[in-house]
Structure 1
Amino acid sequence: MRTRPIIGVTLDAEEPGGYSKLPWYALRKNYFSSLAEAGALPMALPHQTELAEAYLDTLDGLLITGGAFDVDPSLYGGGPAHPTVTLKAGRTDFELAVTRGALARNLPVLGICGGQQLLAVALGGTLIQHIPDTVAEALEHEQPNPRDQPGHEIAIAANTLLASIVGKTRMAVNSAHHQAVATPGEGAVVNAVAPDGVVEGVEHAGYRFALGVQWHPEYAVDPADPLIFQAFVQACRG
């Protein structure tokens, strides 16, 4: 019997240029180290959509990571794409397939930043394509200061999975997004909001563990951030 649950971690992908003359996968180390420190065995998942079910046969849980791109608005009835929208179709196709597969198997799922938005779409939710054009007097959600520093606070809804994990009603979070969840999907609920009303987290009580957070807890900006990984890994132990 293995002592560490195997958690699949979705990768980011870039076309040739910069780091490599060939297409490449990459992901910040702190996603993996946060999971390992919480007791998991992280496994990177290349974007082979046809292998999504085979991956899931091996996994005890799924972490959907963030990245500098957006979910195609056509996937949630969002209408024409805003000029700021950047797509990575191959990544999104894979992430939707593996997320829907994980939910169908009731495997624990944690979505971070763009991964939270992807989870909301997988649950039938919708997104705001560009916060500055939609939310009056919005905060600067693409914070100018470094990501290992807080950008703003959030208010956490009572009687939610997130509240039970972090044990408090407010947290300091970092912020690196121009989109946000508009509606969380049928049966899903919003578990946290920013001072300007922008959704900062979603969850669905109909699954063993289906949680999304808009910030990046792998930076541990708030002392409660590691608790999110600990609760996720514990859920993956079954």
Structure 2
Amino acid sequence: MNSDTNRPVRAGRRPVVGICARTAPVTLQGSDLVVSLALQAHVAFLSEAGCTPLLLPLLPGAEDLAGRLDGLLVPGGPDLDPTLYGAHAHPATRAMDPDADRVELALVGRALEAKVPVLAVCRGMQLLNVLHGGTLHQHLADVTGHDGHRPRTPSFTLGRRPLKLLPGSRIAGILDEADPVTACHHHQAVDRLGEGLSATGWAEDGTVEAVEVTDHPFAVGVQWECGQTADKRLHQALAGAAGGANHQPAAAILRN
């Protein structure tokens, strides 16, 4: 699949796709713990698409695995440290983890250098933009004048925004529909677009909703929450691109 990656997977093994872990406090059997985790839908959708998902905690040295993967998924998560793009924190910017940010930036950078297929989701797309020298709107409602991208409701609610896609772009080919609609939950977004990126999707208010790395076979960022709905198209596209990989050491990760 996706022969344009020109990186055939060795016959007989499933492509290994890394998923950047997030940390969260949980209570288990009465004990308060902090765990590394991934959204189960990301794990399940990639497995259903023929891949072996691999959780990657954001600790020093994680970037050394980048070239040994067949694909990388960078999911949603906390806000990025604004100092990474030369800004002071907005009052609404929260839950930052500068150490994890720097590990994740190094991991994604190394993956792109190795031409590993990358799917960056929500925070992941924002990180992709910052990696390329771009900046972020730290609180999107200040720019758009509304909270439609992250509805203010008592429980978690996805915003539904009409999506305009660049004809002929990779994301337009993946979604392949006339009137796509996002399922989003974000209060930050691209401000200045990073060098080497192309904006390929926008909300009706002008918010950048999709970007692609211009000199990479498959590196796509989307602002919406794929993994929070039943839509598996982006995971299937990443799996297809990972299926064109030729990193034999990825199998060794699972043996060692």
User: Which bin holds the TM-score, normalised by the shorter protein?
Assistant: 0.7 to 0.9
The answer on 1:201 being equivalent to 2:207 is: no
Of the two, which has the highest radius of gyration? 2
Residue in 2 that maps onto 1:45 = 56
Partner of 2:252: none
Distance 1:125 1:96 in 2: 13
1:151-166 equivalence runs, <5 A: 151-166=160-175
Q: State the Cα distance separating 1:119 from its structure 2 match.
A: 1.2
**Matches for 1:1-238 after TM superposition, within 5 Å:** 1-14=11-24, 18=27, 21-53=32-64, 55-67=65-77, 69-77=78-86, 79-86=87-94, 87-135=96-144, 137-144=145-152, 151-220=160-229, 225-238=231-244
TM-score with structure 1 setting the length? 0.88
Q: Which runs of 5+ in 2 are unaligned?
A: 1-10, 245-256
Aligned residues: 230
Gap change, CA 1:184 and 1:174, over 3 Å in 2: same
Relative to structure 1, the CA distance from residue 26 to residue 165 in structure 2 (aligned partners, 3 Å threshold; closer, same or farther) is same
Q: Using the alignment, how far apart are the partners of 1:106 and 1:197 within structure 2?
A: 30
Q: Specify the code of the residue in structure 2 equivalent to 1:187.
A: G
Amino acid at match of 1:45: L
Runs of 5+ unmatched residues, structure 1: none
Equivalent residue letter for 2:41: N
Under a length normalisation based on structure 2, what TM-score does the superposition of the two structures give? 0.82
Indicate the RMSD between aligned Cα atoms, in angstroms.
Answer: 2.1
Choose between structure 1 and 2 for higher RCO, CA contacts under 8 A separated by at least 6 residues.
2
Aligned 8 A contact 1:76 1:125 in 2: yes
Q: Counterparts of 2:233 and 2:116 in 1: how far apart (Å)? A: 19
In 2, the alpha carbon distance for the partners of 1:213 and 1:148 equals 18
- How many Å separate the matches in 1 of 2:131 and 2:178? 27
Deviation at 1:149, TM superposition (A): 5.9
Match of 1:124, as an amino acid? Answer: G
Q: Give a deviation string over 1:7-62, Cα, whole Å, max 9, x none.
A: 00011113x56565343212221111111122211000011222321x22431111
1:227 is matched by which residue type in structure 2? R
Give the deviation of 1:220 after TM superposition: 3.5
Deviates more, 1:137-146 or 1:98-107: 137-146
